[in-house]
Amino acid sequence: MINLKSALRGCALVSTLAATPFAAQAQDFINVLTGGTSGVYYPLGAGLANIYGEKIDGARTQVQSTKASVENLNLLQDGRGELGFALGDSVAMAWEGNADAGFPAKLDRLRGIAAIYPNYIQVVATQESGITDFAGLAGKSLSVGAPASGTELNARAIFGAMDLSYEDLGKVEYLPFAESVELIKNRQLDGTLQSAGLGVASIRDLASSLPINVVAIPAEVAEKLGAPYIAATIPANTYDGQTADVPTVAVSNFLVTHEGVSDEVAYQMTKLLFENLDTLVASHQAAAQIDIANALNGMPIPLHPGAERYYREQGLLQ
Taking alpha carbons only, the member of 155, 190, 182 closest to residue 69 is: 155
Q: Under a CB-based contact definition with an 8 Å cutoff, are residues 272 and 236 in contact?
A: no
Domain 119-251, second-level architecture: 3-Layer(aba) Sandwich (3.40)
Per-residue pLDDT, 276: 98
pLDDT at 259 > cutoff 90: yes
Contact, 252 vs 71, CB < 8 A? Answer: no
C-alpha distances in angstroms, 33 versus 76, 151, 257, 318?
Answer: 9, 16, 10, 31
Residue 72 CB burial class (10 angstroms; 0-12, 13-18, ≥19)? buried
Residue 21 has pLDDT above 90, yes or no: no
Query: Hey, what amino acid is at 29?
Result: F
Reported as a pLDDT band with limits 50, 70 and 90, residue 7 is very low
Stretch 24-36: mean pLDDT? 80
Supply angle C-alpha 215, 218, 222, rounded to 5: 120
pLDDT (0 to 100) of residue 148: 81
Please give the pLDDT value at position 27: 63
* Span 28-117+253-313 CATH architecture: 3-Layer(aba) Sandwich (3.40)
> In the beta sheet, which residues pair with residue 215?
123
What average pLDDT score do residues 233-246 get?
A: 96
How big is the CA angle at 74 (ends 68 and 79), to the nearest 5 degrees?
115
Residue ranges of domains in the chain? 28-117+253-313, 119-251
pLDDT at 190 over 70: yes
CA distance 180 to 174: 8
**Which pLDDT value is given to residue 265?**
97
Strands 29-33 and 60-64: parallel
For position 140, what pLDDT does the model report?
Answer: 98
pLDDT band at 149 (very low <50, low <70, confident <90, very high): confident
Distances (CA, A) of 32 to 53, 124, 311: 11, 29, 22
How many Å is the Cα radius of gyration of the chain? 23
Residue type, 233: T
pLDDT digits (tens, 9 = 90+) for 150-189: 899 999 999 999 999 999 999 999 999 999 999 999 999 9
Residue 210 burial (CB count, 10 A) = 14
Q: What is the pLDDT of residues 263-307, one digit of tens each?
A: 999 999 999 999 999 999 999 999 999 999 999 998 999 999 999
For 84, the enclosing helix (H) or strand (E) is strand 83-87
Average pLDDT, the chain: 91
User: Residue 163 class from Cβ within 10 Å (0-12 exposed, 13-18 middle, 19+ buried)?
Assistant: exposed
pLDDT score, position 153: 93
Q: Are 287 and 47 in contact (CB under 8 A)?
A: yes
Higher pLDDT, 87 or 227: 87
Question: Is 70 exceeded by the pLDDT of residue 83?
Answer: yes
Instruction: Lowest mean pLDDT of 15-19, 157-161, 206-210, name the range.
Output: 15-19
Kindly list the distances between the CA atom of residue 54 and the CA atoms of 20, 51, 58, 59, in Å, as whole numbers in the listed order. 24, 5, 9, 8
Asked if 28-117+253-313 and 119-251 have one fold, the answer is: yes
Whether 4 has a pLDDT exceeding 50, the answer reads no
% residues pLDDT > 70 (the chain): 92
- The Cα–Cα gap between 223 and 262 comes to 39
- pLDDT class of 228 with cuts at 50, 70, 90: confident
